[in-house]
Structure 1
Amino acid sequence: MNYLLTLVFLFGICYVRAEDDFLPDYIQPCNLKEDDFAKCVKQQIEESLPNFSKGIPELGVPSVDPVNLDDILIDGNGLKLKFEKAQMHGLSHTKLTKLKVDIGREEETINLGIIANLSLTAKYNADGKILILPIKGDGDAVITCKNIEVEINSKFSHIKSNKGMHFKLVTPNYKYDIQSTTFEFENLFNGNKQLADATLQFANENWRQLMDDLAPPVVKQIVKTIVKAINKFFSKVTIDRIVNGYKQKS
């Protein structure tokens, strides 16, 4: 019995130490004092994005591909459209488009730009009109967004733990643009192919008007999920583990 308790105790110690010291091998610290600090951070983010988006179980960082979304409701302008059990897929293939990091100054900030092809899957229920055409049905839906660009601006704050000081992204704001979108709705008009094809063609030709209502809540949830995952990582890894030569502001 004593032997078993000892093993449990040692396992607990090893687990805590592993978490304290753990840093994925695809993430290397950058030296703040070096001239190529910005280049190093950019390289680290570019190399980390595909792996980071899959999650880091050792640090409790969840996967962000797919992203589970809250129910989405469009109700206005003659259209009632609801999406349930929605998921966004594709963030593991995100690419970095821009990066500016200010660390070690009075105000520490990050400006991050990413681009990806994303698809939303959900159960939909629609009744009303898309602009001038009627739409009615319920079933599976797939919405595919090509080259959706999101730019996130955020400040860094500092959180103290018994391990040391940690970064945290606060007051993030963002903007986005979408190159194109296509819609697929199964079981429109109870399977009437002629009506369904005409409505889908019209929707896909006028996708931007639909996305004016649909995109904001979706992008908001995506950004919230990304920031939450990053902050989870920061909460487990102290600043001095990822930034060499960082001096805490007094």
Structure 2
Amino acid sequence: MSFLLLVLWAVFSSTESSNSLTASFIDPCVLTDSNCLRASAQKALPVVAAGIPSLGMESLDPMVMERVRAVQAGLRMDFRNTIVKGLRKCEVLDLRRFARKTEIDLKCSVVLIGDYTLGGQLLILPIEGDGKYKIKIRDIVVKVVLDIGEREAGGERYWTVSGFRHSVEVLGGVQFQFQNLFNGNRQMADPVLEFANSNWRQIFYDVAPPIVHTIVSHIVAETTKLFEKTPISELRRTTPYLKLVKTRVSKMIRVVCLLSLVLTANSASAPFIKPCNGDDSACIMSSAVSAVPFFVSGVPELGMKPLDPLSLPLIKSDQGGLKLTFKDSTLTGLKNCHLENIKHDSSKIKQTVIVKCNLVLTGDYDINGQLLILTTQGNGKYKIDIRDMVIKTTVDLTTVTGKDGKPHWHITKWNRSFKVLTGTTFDFENLFNGNKILAEPVLEFANTNWKDVMQEIAPPVVDAIVSEVVLAVEALYKSVPLDELHT
């Protein structure tokens, strides 16, 4: 994939001039001749992968990836000094050119070798390590669609990329090797490696989204700079073009390669969002599932802060004769929430989201009053463990004009409902100033009657959580125009 854009540029030029700088290894093709286009791209692929010093193009096989860092689904990843091999043997399955669109399908088998640091949760298993790694990926098929346009400025024509969509599928398999897991403890490392290689498909797709986000954002930025400043006419000349873009192309080449390994559908401003028709519930659900990890991890460039862990400075409640204050609270667990359903009502411009989560809330508390039938008083540290909480949130939307002059969604109001399916465990330290004779019956009562207690104390907590999530969604809508979210 690291040579994909270069191949595409060559094919763009090859239909018009046999004297272009790529003519030595690109066969000119008619726009509608898909067989010629595919064969021409296949012929160009190993030449581009090997590097063309006369054109300032570095070798792509082997290729060096300096660093990729990400946090996804509870797993912290840091890959350094990675060498990628196998790109020159990729197969061009298909290449299709249209007036405003180019599509290309590639199948590759690649090997990544380098240094790693891992920590956190690998699906259901804890993992920790630092050392050498090797990942072999067999028969990965990458399908890419580029939306191509043109603009005129200063008497010159420029290419524009108005959007792009991607999909990826691994047909053969993925094999993971991580040396020095758990500081070389084989009894702990071997089961984790066996689990990873037995469940390679789920692991591969679970850890991909943040890497995709980082790489695609860089590619979009670099490609946009290139096309904004370089006329189409200069993309067909050897000297002026190469002097201008040699550095940018070199940087872009380094990041596009890994994209082929982890690419998923995305839009231009928010690479983790796949635009969907309002009536296509399957597309909306799929796009939302892919986007959840980014909402949780946060997207600073879109004004979206991390949601797990989530800081809740102050939550107050005064109802039913019970005064309750939670201070400096931390909520964890949102990253593992399961999206149960999501709907978009185009006629009423409403969205409804249902999630099921296991949540843990910790911090400082101050309680005074009547907890159902028992008098309760205390202040200190607290912990609430909630299992299988289902939260349903409905937001009303309107359309506003953003700073970019384009229509954007804006949330006008929201409401929520919730229920806990499995159970809740309460732990309040220092009830009644540490008097266990008074405190223990209250705690036992609260944990036995958790459902009723939750109905009394949970609403302001749920409101605080939903409010933070709504702020993240509103930040997304403010940054990303409507046409990149909804078709």
Q: Normalising by structure 1, what TM-score? A: 0.77
Cα 1:198–1:169, aligned 2, differ >3 Å: closer, same or farther? same
Task: Give the partner amino acid of 1:229.
Answer: A
Who is 1:22 aligned against? 269
Give the SS at the match of 1:229: helix
Answer 1 or 2: higher relative contact order, Cα 8 Å, separation at least 6: 1
Task: Give the partner amino acid of 1:177.
Answer: K
How far apart in 2 are the matches of 1:80 and 1:107? Answer: 38
Match of 1:93 among 327, 336, 345: 336
Who is 2:281 aligned against? 38
Cα 1:141–1:239, aligned 2, differ >3 Å: closer, same or farther? same
Q: How many pairs align?
A: 223
Who is 1:56 aligned against? 299
Residue 212 (1) aligns with residue 455 (2): yes
How far apart in 1 are the matches of 2:479 and 2:319? Answer: 44
Who is 1:196 aligned against? 439
Q: Which moved more, 1:193-202 or 1:175-184?
A: 193-202
> Percent identity of the aligned residues?
33
Task: Give the partner amino acid of 1:91.
Answer: L
Residue 146 (1) aligns with residue 387 (2): yes
Task: Give the partner amino acid of 1:117.
Answer: N
How far apart in 2 are the matches of 1:241 and 1:82? Answer: 41
Task: Give the partner amino acid of 1:28.
Answer: K
Match of 1:174 among 405, 413, 416: 416
How far apart in 2 are the matches of 1:195 and 1:69? Answer: 29
| Displacement of 1:45 | 0.5
Cα 1:234–1:203, aligned 2, differ >3 Å: closer, same or farther? same
Give the SS at the match of 2:308: coil
| Displacement of 1:205 | 1.0
User: Is contact 2:284–2:343 with CA below 8 Å preserved after alignment?
Assistant: no
| Displacement of 1:75 | 4.1
Task: Give the partner amino acid of 1:29.
Answer: P
Task: Give the partner amino acid of 1:225.
Answer: E
Give the SS at the match of 2:306: coil
How far apart in 2 are the matches of 1:228 and 1:185? Answer: 30
Cα 1:124–1:112, aligned 2, differ >3 Å: closer, same or farther? same
How far apart in 2 are the matches of 1:162 and 1:136? Answer: 51
| Displacement of 1:76 | 5.4
Give the SS at the match of 1:69: strand
Residue 111 (1) aligns with residue 358 (2): no
| Displacement of 1:160 | 0.7
Structure 1 unaligned segments of length 5 or more: list them: 1-13
Cα 1:41–1:80, aligned 2, differ >3 Å: closer, same or farther? closer
Residue 238 (1) aligns with residue 484 (2): no
How far apart in 2 are the matches of 1:231 and 1:155? Answer: 12
* CA deviation string 1:146-196 (max 9, x = no partner): 111111222221111242111122222221112222110112334344443
How far apart in 2 are the matches of 1:41 and 1:74? Answer: 36
Who is 1:5 aligned against? none
Q: Normalising by structure 2, what TM-score? A: 0.42
